[in-house]
Amino acid sequence: MRKTLPPRYYLTHFHEFLAFFDGQNAPLLTENAKTFIEQFHQLDADKQCIIARAANRKYAVIDRSQFNYDEINAPQQQIDELIASGWFDTIHHASQEALEGVLTKEAILSFLASMGVVSGVKSLSKSALLARFFEMISHQGWPQELPDHNYLHCAFIEPLKYLLFLHFGHTRGRLNQFSMRDLGVMRTRQDAVNDVARFSSLREAELAWFYASQRASISSLSSDKLLALATGEFPNTEDVAATVFRDSFLFALGTTLLEAEPTHGLNILGMATSDKAREKWVRESFKAGNVDEVKQALEGYIDEPPSDTFLAFAEDFYARKYHKKRTSALTDMLRASQHTLLIDESNNQQVERGVMAHYERQGKTSWRTENRLWLSLFGLTFWRLLYEEDALVTEFDRRPMSIKQNNFYHKFEHQIEALLTYFNDKEALANHVRKAAAAHYGKVNSMFMWSSTILDPIQALITYGELPAIITLLRMMARDFASLKDGFPDIMVLDGGLRFEEIKAPGDQLRRNQLVSIQRMQQAGFDVGITAVEWYRDPNQPYVVVDIETTGGNSTNHRITEIGMVKLVAGKVIDTYESLVNPERFIPSSITRLTGISNDMVADAPVFSQIADDIDKFTQDAVFVAHNVNFDYGFIKQEFARLELPFRRPKLCTVREMRKAKPGLSSYSLANLTAHFDITMERHHRALSDARAAAELLNIAFDTVT
């Protein structure tokens, strides 16, 4: 059902949008932007409604026939008056992209017909037709008269785009984000917004807009226009915020030019200050034969590194290219790994969980950490600085400016050091983090996702880790968050002391961001290593063979009536579990005839929520096995989902295993396999009986493979 919006809904949002420029961002307005705002406020409410609705459209071309809204008095007359006062003009001024987004294929065919192009075009796509139309225009100019149409070009599009850029901080911002916020589709941080300017001056704002808009156009430019752009001027920026846009533009332009105009491409890349552009320049310049120039540049970067990430690249590249070192630092770190674990191959889709289960069976406690531990600790430790002192420019911003610009420590050095000094014991840090979590739980932020267990690994880190190491790493993250925002080890293990492990399965590669984070953690004083996993059939890996009976075949609409489970270790049954389950719905007579389970039998049985904990514990750290496993697993996972609980286990199917172990059989149904291998079935289509039979099939399959 379509939602009815309040009267003049879009106009209300447009006024909210323009109010942003009444405060600290007012000095960033160009003369065109000021004129646009002033003239808009001089319009009557009907005309403002039309401008606001046009501004909400995706393209700068509108079909005026679509603007007959009840909230606007005499809309077509209002549009005529707006045309007369210069708010709209003809589509002669529209871009090809805007026209393609709005014009119908029939309209383009009629335009071509007015230019004498009729034959051989009806079968073309709309995009090809429009390209043909613009090709004709490039030679003949726009026709004197086009067929009657309702299309208009928004003459105010350029100042509007600049205002959108200032408000949202990028070229992708659109006014529909206000309605997405109201509908709950987009969560925002209105509580974290202060009235702060996005750029330090009008000049920096204009330069940022210049580079951002040019960056957006690169992919559509011809070779000649790209070359003309490359030979133009690229004014330097002073703001970190504006420099980000300049670097992004230079990287995109330089990379695009490398193949056709390598000299220009390298020159453009050499102007940028981002790690990405510097690395590209080093690699491409070396390939081009500029060996001495690259060597000198690398030595300078190593002496005064722009970031930890780039230092890791520069040292590695220098060693391999100039000292003839045969392997990369990433390869060296992998080869230096002294820790290899044999993990059951059933965990090949979730290797970290398999390693953690291995440690649990050895009596060791482990936590899945990866980036979440460090980002949540960082965000909670510095929440006030990040989301109150620094704040966001608008509620639609995702990251605080100091994080986006990677100058958090520079901006808040004294506050950061005072806070870190305050943590003179572990309890002070733990209390600080707990208070921040309690005060801000659930608030949107760019660091981490909230969960009810978010504090568990943090508390373990503080309790069992070394406080100086934790403080040192927090300081490192504050100083260069861009280099330490990811790449952290997969798990944290309590084994006497606390250690971190990056888990690598066969074929996995170590990425440079992981190298940087591991090195920095080691420098801070943490025990960090790489654990190489090799797959094998672990005799101590528990397998839980499951069978369920249900009210029908679809897990969305039907429910479980009985569950039976058999736990195997080294091929031996060590435990069993069975229970009838009240499905809380009627059992069809056809199901009763098949299973023998009637409505009377389950009337006093527990509902699934009452046995969910039993099932979770019985299958914990085990491989979930069943005959046609997706059926049983899907039903149980769906039951947990109804309780808003996760259920994830590695899966194994006895049908598949028997096909591999005993190929060529006429049927792999449970009944036929049990008959073929003389497996006793106490009660077919009863859960525990079928689970026991499937467990014997699993042993047959494993014994055959062995």
- Would residue 234 count as lying in a domain? yes
Average pLDDT over residues 668-684: 87
Is 32 in the same domain as 15? yes
Average pLDDT over residues 83-104: 90
- Would residue 197 count as lying in a domain? no
Average pLDDT over residues 486-492: 96
Identify the domain containing residue 286 by its residue range.
202-330
Q: Quick check: 682 pLDDT over 60?
A: yes
- In this structure, of 32-36, 62-66, 345-349, 664-668, the range with the lowest mean pLDDT score is 345-349
pLDDT value for 335: 64
Is 563 in the same domain as 523? no
Name the domain count of the chain. Answer: 4
- Would residue 101 count as lying in a domain? yes
Is 639 in the same domain as 555? yes
Most confident of 41-45, 307-311, 528-532: 41-45
pLDDT value for 1: 42
Distances from the Cα of 203 to the Cα of 20, 27, 231, 238, angstroms: 19, 10, 22, 10
- Would residue 4 count as lying in a domain? no
- Would residue 1 count as lying in a domain? no
* Banded model confidence at residue 506, pLDDT cuts 50, 70, 90: confident
pLDDT value for 100: 86
How far apart are alpha carbons 110 and 64 in whole angstroms? 18
**Percent of the chain at pLDDT above 70?**
97
DSSP string, 357-423: HHHHHTT-EEEE-HHHHHHHHHHHHTHHIIIIII-BSSTT--S-HHHHTT-HHHHHHHHHHHHHHH-
Domain end: 173, 192, 211, which one? Answer: 192
Is 551 in the same domain as 530? no
pLDDT value for 142: 82
User: Residue 70 corresponds to which tokens in the numbers above?
Assistant: 């009840």
User: Residue 331 corresponds to which tokens in the numbers above?
Assistant: 């390869």
Distances from the Cα of 556 to the Cα of 6, 76, 561, 591, angstroms: 37, 51, 14, 17
Is 127 in the same domain as 222? no
Residue with tokens 């979440």: 372
Is 128 in the same domain as 256? no
Q: Quick check: 587 pLDDT over 70?
A: yes
Domain end: 536, 558, 581, which one? Answer: 536
How far apart are alpha carbons 561 and 548 in whole angstroms? 7
Is 156 in the same domain as 270? no
Is 206 in the same domain as 149? no
Domain end: 536, 552, 572, which one? Answer: 536
3-state class (DSSP) for residue 153? strand
pLDDT value for 326: 65
Question: Rounded to two decimals, what is the model's pTM?
Answer: 0.78
Is 603 in the same domain as 645? yes
DSSP 175: T
Average pLDDT over residues 432-451: 94
CB atoms within 10 A of CB 679: 16
Distances from the Cα of 344 to the Cα of 305, 360, 650, angstroms: 43, 14, 10
* Mean predicted lDDT score pLDDT of the chain: 91
Is 486 in the same domain as 381? yes
Q: In what order do the strands lie in the sheet with 151-154?
A: 61-63, 151-154, 88-89
Could you give the maximum distance between any two Cα atoms of the chain, in Å?
92
* Banded model confidence at residue 145, pLDDT cuts 50, 70, 90: confident
- In this structure, of 118-132, 375-389, 452-466, the range with the lowest mean pLDDT score is 118-132
Residue with tokens 């209002």: 78
**Percent of the chain at pLDDT above 90?**
69
Is 498 in the same domain as 609? no
Chain centroid to Cα 51, Å, comes to 35
Cβ-count burial 582-619 (b if 16+ within 10 Å, e if not): bbeeebeeebbeebebebebbeebeebeebbeebeebb
Average pLDDT over residues 168-185: 91
Average pLDDT over residues 271-282: 95
Q: Which residue has the higher pLDDT, 329 or 579?
A: 579
- Would residue 2 count as lying in a domain? no
* Banded model confidence at residue 123, pLDDT cuts 50, 70, 90: confident
- Would residue 3 count as lying in a domain? no
Average pLDDT over residues 560-565: 96
Is 451 in the same domain as 324? no
- Would residue 508 count as lying in a domain? yes
